[in-house]
Amino acid sequence: MSNEMIGLLGIVLLFVLILIKIPIGFSMIIVGALGYAVLMSPAAALAKLGADLFNNAHSYSLSVIPMFTLMGMFIGQSGLGRDLFRAFNAWLGHIRGGLSIATVVTCAAFAAVSGSVIATTATIATVAVPEMRAMKYKDSLIAGCVASGSTLGILIPPSSVLIIYGVLTEESIGQLLIAGILPGLMTAFLLALTAYIMVRINPSLAPGVVKSTFSDRMNSLKLVWPIPMIFIITMGGIYRGVFTPTEGGAIGAFMSLIFCLVGRRIKWQGFTASLTETAKVVAMLMIMLVGGVMFGNFLSISRIPLFLTRHMSDLPPLILMTTIFLCYFVAGFFMDAMAILVIFTGLFYPMVLAAGYNGIWYGVVTILMILIGFLTPPVGVVSVITASISKIKLETVFKGVIPFWIALIVSTFIIILFPGIATYLPNLMMR
């Protein structure tokens, strides 16, 4: 049996393990170790597994993940999500559909210091849904805004998913984080524009408005100043080369903790909960990283990436990226987004580089394609979480996200057609 056929069987086995609910990280470790044993030897597979576990676990660059995760946990405990929404509501609530726009913008701002889709969804849904319902907003619009806006947590830095992509591909983590800024802002704008257009077409979706005085608007800013300050210092320091991404994450976590303590926004239970949740998230991500590296090694020696490179890299650019997009799109119907990232990065990244594309740009495109998967039924993790927290029927959520789902597709193709949006800031870092 050829190496390529063994690699294909390994991919099929991985899908089977995922479908029977074996955790993704362990599924990849199992398939990677078995495949390596078949293609090399059992002894080599065990040695490789041990080496991958140690090399990934003690890597200094990976300490950026717990630092940024802890920063997001502290911010989540501080109640800043509620203050952000109220501030944007004060400034935008007078517009027809302003609460929906404020929800998307709040998601983008909270994502800038959270880096987590789950944390953003849970925080913003809790504060935004009651406010929009009080203004008689339709559930479909509420769900669409919360779910789609929350996906920005893995695009706007700090993004743990961009960091994982960087580890898997050995691209610069600092440049990847900076690369997410302009696409993230553009995507947030498209989502907010989608909400505005929907309300203009059908005013019954958002009949109520909120009017605030200029004094109310200025007072609302007093509560949210830590968000831009923390973001500018952490991302600005990384962009200017003042400190590494890991140091930036540590500074951001420390600033978040100080803000919570000085403002008395966190109790002992919240502090310990932040540490506990950070440990859980990091442990899960580390297992997935080890599994991804092990599975990627298996794919490499199976020569499947080489086979794809040989047969697909000569395709016209738009056709090549559309083909990859369709693979992500179809996989989003039945696979978890993180599984898609780890599996498809190993398959397509070598091919994209061989075709002459920029690895940083492809990382941003990958994240955008994963955002679409977060909303796509039946898996649609963010859609499911939104339905659970907001008590909106899941079918209503899936219906509500369709216009925003289209906006994400548009955003993806804009980045594909105009790669400079993703590479402009990282290229400035290199000078």
Full 3-state SS string of the chain: CCHHHHHHHHHHHHHHHHHCCCCHHHHHHHHHHHHHHHHCCHHHHHHHHHHHHHHHHCCHHHHHHHHHHHHHHHHHHHCHHHHHHHHHHHHHCCCCCHHHHHHHHHHHHHHHHHCCHHHHHHHHHHHHHHHHHHCCCCHHHHHHHHHHHHHHHHCCCCCHHHHHHHHHHCCCHHHHHHHCHHHHHHHHHHHHHHHHHHHHHCHHHCCCCCCCCHHHHHHHHCCCCHHHHHHHHHHHHHHHCCCCHHHHHHHHHHHHHHHHHHCCCCCHHHHHHHHHHHHHHHHHHHHHHHHHHHHHHHHHHHCHHHHHHHHHCCCCHHHHHHHHHHHHHHHCCCCCHHHHHHHHHHHHHHHHHHCCCCHHHHHHHHHHHHHHHHHCCCCCHHHHHHHHHHCCCHHHHHHHHHHHHHHHHHHHHHHHHCCHHHHHHHHHHCC
> Distance between alpha carbon 72 and the CA centroid of its chain, in Å?
13
Of 288, 64, 32, 326, which Cα lies nearest the Cα of 174? 64
Phi (first) and psi of residue 393, to 5 degrees: -55, 140
Could you tell me the two tokens for 51? 């080496």
Of 237, 236, 230, which Cα lies nearest the Cα of 258? 230
**What total of structural domains would you count in the chain?**
1
Could you tell me the two tokens for 61? 């660059």
pLDDT at position 420: 94
Kindly give, in sequence order, each residue whose CB lies less than 8 Å from that of residue 203, ignoring residues fewer than 6 positions away: 96
pLDDT by 10s per residue, the chain, length 431: 788 888 888 888 888 887 787 888 888 889 888 988 888 888 887 887 777 777 776 777 778 888 888 888 888 888 888 888 888 888 887 888 888 999 999 988 888 877 777 778 888 888 888 888 888 889 999 999 999 998 888 888 888 888 888 888 889 889 999 999 999 999 999 999 999 999 999 988 988 777 778 888 888 888 788 888 888 899 899 888 888 888 998 999 999 999 888 888 888 888 898 899 888 888 888 888 888 888 888 888 888 877 777 777 677 877 888 888 888 877 777 777 777 888 888 888 888 888 888 999 999 999 998 888 888 877 778 888 888 888 888 899 999 999 999 999 999 999 988 999 999 999 888 55
Kindly give, in sequence order, each residue whose CB lies less than 8 Å from that of residue 152, ignoring residues fewer than 6 positions away: 107, 108, 111, 120, 184, 187, 188, 191, 371
Half-sphere exposure of 41 (CA within 13 A, CB side): 3
Residues 21 and 283: beta-carbon distance below 8 Å: no
pLDDT at position 414: 94
CA dihedral (357, 364, 60, 236) positive or negative: positive
Residues 185 and 166: beta-carbon distance below 8 Å: no
pLDDT at position 430: 55
pLDDT at position 377: 78
pLDDT at position 175: 92
What domain range is 163 assigned to?
3-429
Could you tell me the two tokens for 79? 């109640």
Residues 298 and 39: beta-carbon distance below 8 Å: yes
Could you tell me the two tokens for 332? 């989003």
CA dihedral (294, 298, 303, 307) positive or negative: negative
Distance (Å, whole) CA 86 – CA 360: 35
Model-level pTM? 0.86
Of 391, 395, 373, 393, which Cα lies nearest the Cα of 382? 373
pLDDT at position 292: 80
Neighbours of 414 (CB within 10 A): 16
pLDDT at position 415: 93
Could you tell me the two tokens for 167? 């580890």
